[in-house]
């Protein structure tokens, strides 16, 4: 019984067909148009472009898998979190979606902290007010685009717009809803208190389902444009981080993932809605009933390396050349440090205004030093979440790597040295689309739950062990890295220009 998973990412949409034994039968992908930035710190995408890419990716995956669409047992969805897709009464998109990395809503977050209070926000939603979250984007549109706001009748998250186009159903799931700041994460339901306090009509948000619950079926229009069979069930799915965690088997207490994609995420499954009282971590519902997760986020992880590649004028296939040069540089990058704050920073600073910095350059440094410094800086940033886990007594029995960082042997070794622990990879890492397909299989009754699916499908291998000498040096460099943020904040506080 083949299963289809669809992941609506930032850079593109990916579709994947798996068999009920977890074998990948076929994949398809289509890039999105680059997000637009009408002003510094803004980030917008066209939901219609996501739907265009989904149609192409699904058709390609079905063709590659050589399966009849009539055999697809169920469909799972995943996607970038925190976006705001605004629809009118005719369910037409009103404006470009404001996506996760947009930083325009600092004033709205300040208003939330004043009007509701940081402690009340944590008690109601398990999370602080951040510029990334969907609620602050809605408040910005209401304040700055009142004509647009008057026409808003529905609010969807990115993957849920694709669900709507596939099925005609308006729905989301509890993991994705957790990242809106309108959701009572502890009780796994929309927070009426937050909606009332901010004046957001409850009718704007869709029903929030558990991730393996069936949300609807492929419609006639969805079937016509994708090649799928009308009536194929679609499960709730999950935000990209929860789906990615399912895809690499991070479902139980003690197993932690460190994923380097565009952003970087350190993710721990929990059996209760554990919270950081300082709000440095996100507490969200996991993709299984009665399970949650703690998550720290680096805004520009893989984005840092991509940015450097672009500035150096290296073609897209040039990552291997850059990392080969970096591998010739000893651990510590010759004293160069990278602060990966290209899009502000979430964990642990919650600071949309801080900016990135390359520190410690001398004339003898070459490109390899800079590339290695960027890779080490991203790993240092992810380690900050592990440091908070230690503070909160969150158990870490193993660290499992995911994303593009898991495919680089150098980045795997850097992470082992920086974390001071062996790191694992999964034998088959197909990302969030795989996790979405697994959730579809649970909804179709192939597996009982996420633990059953993980035990049946996920196989791991030790990818790198820390080198004692390098790990000692990385501890010293991590201490130096942690002094960068206060220095950068002081610089910008004293500057006469806005950090844009």
d(CA 248, CA 260): 13
Closest CA to 352 of 299, 282, 304: 299
Rounded to the nearest 5°, which phi and psi values hold at 139? Answer: -65, -35
> Which neighbouring-strand residues pair with 93?
87
Q: How far is CA 76 from CA 79, 141, 261, 491, in A?
A: 11, 30, 21, 46
- Count of C-beta atoms within a 10 Å radius of residue 284: 28
- CA distance linking residue 244 with residue 266, whole number of Å: 11
Catalytic residues: 240
Q: How far is CA 213 from CA 210, 440, 466, in A?
A: 5, 9, 41
In Å, the largest CA–CA distance within the chain is: 64
Q: CA-CA-CA-CA torsion for 253, 259, 263, 266, nearest 10 degrees?
A: 30
Q: How far apart are alpha carbons 157 and 83 in whole angstroms?
A: 5
CB 17 within 8 A of CB 26: yes
CB 238 within 8 A of CB 79: no
- H or E stretch covering 369: helix 367-391
Tell me how far apart the alpha carbons of residues 435 and 366 are, in angstroms, rounded to a whole number.
40
């Amino acid at each position: 019984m083949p299963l289809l998973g669809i992941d609506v990412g930032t850079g593109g949409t990916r579709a994947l067909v798996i068999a009920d034994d977890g074998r990948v039968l076929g994949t398809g992908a289509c890039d999105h148009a680059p997000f637009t930035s009408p002003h510094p710190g803004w980030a917008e995408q066209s939901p219609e472009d996501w739907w265009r890419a989904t149609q192409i990716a699904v058709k390609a995956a079905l063709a590659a898998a050589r399966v009849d669409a009539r055999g697809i047992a169920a469909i799972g969805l995943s996607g970038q979190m925190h976006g705001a897709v605004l629809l009118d009464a005719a369910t037409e998109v009103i404006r470009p979606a404001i996506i996760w990395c947009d930083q325009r809503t600092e004033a709205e977050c300040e208003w939330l902290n004043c009007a509701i209070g940081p402690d009340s926000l944590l008690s109601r939603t398990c999370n602080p007010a951040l510029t990334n979250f969907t609620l602050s984007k809605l408040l910005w549109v209401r304040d700055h685009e009142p004509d647009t706001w008057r026409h808003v009748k529905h609010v969807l998250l990115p993957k849920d717009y694709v669900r709507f186009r596939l099925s005609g159903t308006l729905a989301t799931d509890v993991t994705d809803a957790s990242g809106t700041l309108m959701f009572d994460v502890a009780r796994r339901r929309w927070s009426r208190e937050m909606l009332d306090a901010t004046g957001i009509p409850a009718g704007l948000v869709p029903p929030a389902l558990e991730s393996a619950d069936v949300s609807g079926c492929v419609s006639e229009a969805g079937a016509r444009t994708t090649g799928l069979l009308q009536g194929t069930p679609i499960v709730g799915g999950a935000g990209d981080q929860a789906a990615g965690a399912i895809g690499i088997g991070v479902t139980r207490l003690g197993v932690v993932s460190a994923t380097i994609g565009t952003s970087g995420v350190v993710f721990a499954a929990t059996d209760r809605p554990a919270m950081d009282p300082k709000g440095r971590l996100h507490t969200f519902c996991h993709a299984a009933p009665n399970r949650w997760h703690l998550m720290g986020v680096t805004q520009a992880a893989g984005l840092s390396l991509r940015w450097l590649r672009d500035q150096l004028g290296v073609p897209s296939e040039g990552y291997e050349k850059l990392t080969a040069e970096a591998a010739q540089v000893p651990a510590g990058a010759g004293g160069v440090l990278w602060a990966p704050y290209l899009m502000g920073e979430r964990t642990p600073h919650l600071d949309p205004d801080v900016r990135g910095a390359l520190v410690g350059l001398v004339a003898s440094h070459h490109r390899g030093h800079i590339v290695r410094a960027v890779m080490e800086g991203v790993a240092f940033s992810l380690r900050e979440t592990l440091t908070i886990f230690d503070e909160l007594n969150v158990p870490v029995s193993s660290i499992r790597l995911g994303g593009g960082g898991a495919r680089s042997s150098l980045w795997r070794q850097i992470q082992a040295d920086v974390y001071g622990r062996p790191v694992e990879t999964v034998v088959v890492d197909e990302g969030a689309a795989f996790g979405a397909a697994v959730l579809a299989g649970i909804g179709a009754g192939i597996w009982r739950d996420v633990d059953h699916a993980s035990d049946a499908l996920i196989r791991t291998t030790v990818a790198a062990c820390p080198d004692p000498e390098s790990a000692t040096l990385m501890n010293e460099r991590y201490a130096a890295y942690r002094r960068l943020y206060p220095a950068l904040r002081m610089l910008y506080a004293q500057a006469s220009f806005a950090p844009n």
